[in-house]
Amino acid sequence: MATPEARARGEISPEIIDWVERLHGVVNELVAPIAAAHGARLACRAGCHDCCTDGLSVFEIEAAVIERHHAELLATGVPREEGGCAFLDDRGECRVYEHRPYVCRTQGLPLRWLERDEDGEPAEVRDICPLNAEGPALEELGSDECWTVGPFEERLATRQAAVDGGEGRRVALRTLFTGARRHLPLLR
């Protein structure tokens, strides 16, 4: 757990960054069979970047993972022009793919989550990238054939709250490039 002083300075400990990387590994393992089951319908490939839009933000603890592994890119690289994710290269491929945030690890898959209906009752909602819509109707899929939105986001939010005192601070991906924002200091 970060000290109040570290939280005030925005420092993210190596242990927290390690935890985020382990969480990403678990997500990768759980996503793999869902992606494999839908392989024929998924258009998600290198260069497909319709969902890689500007304005995406992540918790500071996920931003720290990118900073850990891509310090040179962030210091000397140039973000993609506005409109697309700052981390896309000229071919539309992700420059931080191996260390991409959680949200990027589940995009394109059939997604499911709970919302309240007009009567205030919980109702399941499903969605998929329009490029991946061909295939069985989402309503026909078993719950294990969809990625459930919520549990991993909650884990990230809880860990971020432990770091920043409950503020839930987020960072726009574009601002990770030096010159675009202050550097998130890492404890060494």
Q: Mind listing the pLDDT tens digit for each residue in 40-90? A: 888 887 778 888 888 889 999 999 999 999 999 999 999 999 999 999 999
**Lowest mean pLDDT, pick from 3-7, 48-52, 102-106:** 3-7
45 burial (CB, 10 Å; 0-12 / 13-18 / 19+) is exposed
Evaluate if residue 15 carries a pLDDT over 60: yes
Supply the pLDDT for residue 7.
Answer: 40
Angle (CA) 178-53-48 rounded to 5° is: 110
pLDDT at 6: 42
Q: Which two tokens stand for residue 178?
A: 């030096």
Q: Is residue 67 part of a domain?
A: yes
pLDDT tens digits, 128-175? 988 888 889 999 999 999 999 999 999 999 999 999 999 999 999 999
Full residue range of the structural domain in which residue 22 is found: 4-109+156-176
The pLDDT assigned to 45 comes to 77
Q: pLDDT value at position 73?
A: 96
How many structural domains are present in the chain?
1
What confidence score (pLDDT) does residue 5 get? 39
Q: Is the pLDDT of residue 188 over 60?
A: no
Domain assignment present for 97: yes
C-alpha to C-alpha distance for 39 and 127, rounded to whole angstroms: 17
13 within some domain: yes
175 burial via Cβ count (<10 Å: 0-12, 13-18, 19+): middle
Q: Is residue 33 part of a domain?
A: yes
Say how many CA atoms lie within 13 Å of 80 toward its Cβ. Answer: 20
User: Has residue 95 been placed in a domain?
Assistant: yes
Answer yes or no: is 9 within a domain: yes
Residue 73 domain flag:
yes
In a domain, 137, yes or no: no
Two tokens, residue 72 = 């040179």
Alpha helices in the chain (DSSP H): 4-9, 14-37, 60-69, 71-76, 102-106, 151-164
Inform me whether the pLDDT recorded for 29 exceeds 80: yes
Q: What is the reported pTM?
A: 0.85
Could you identify the residue written with the tokens 């209906």? 117
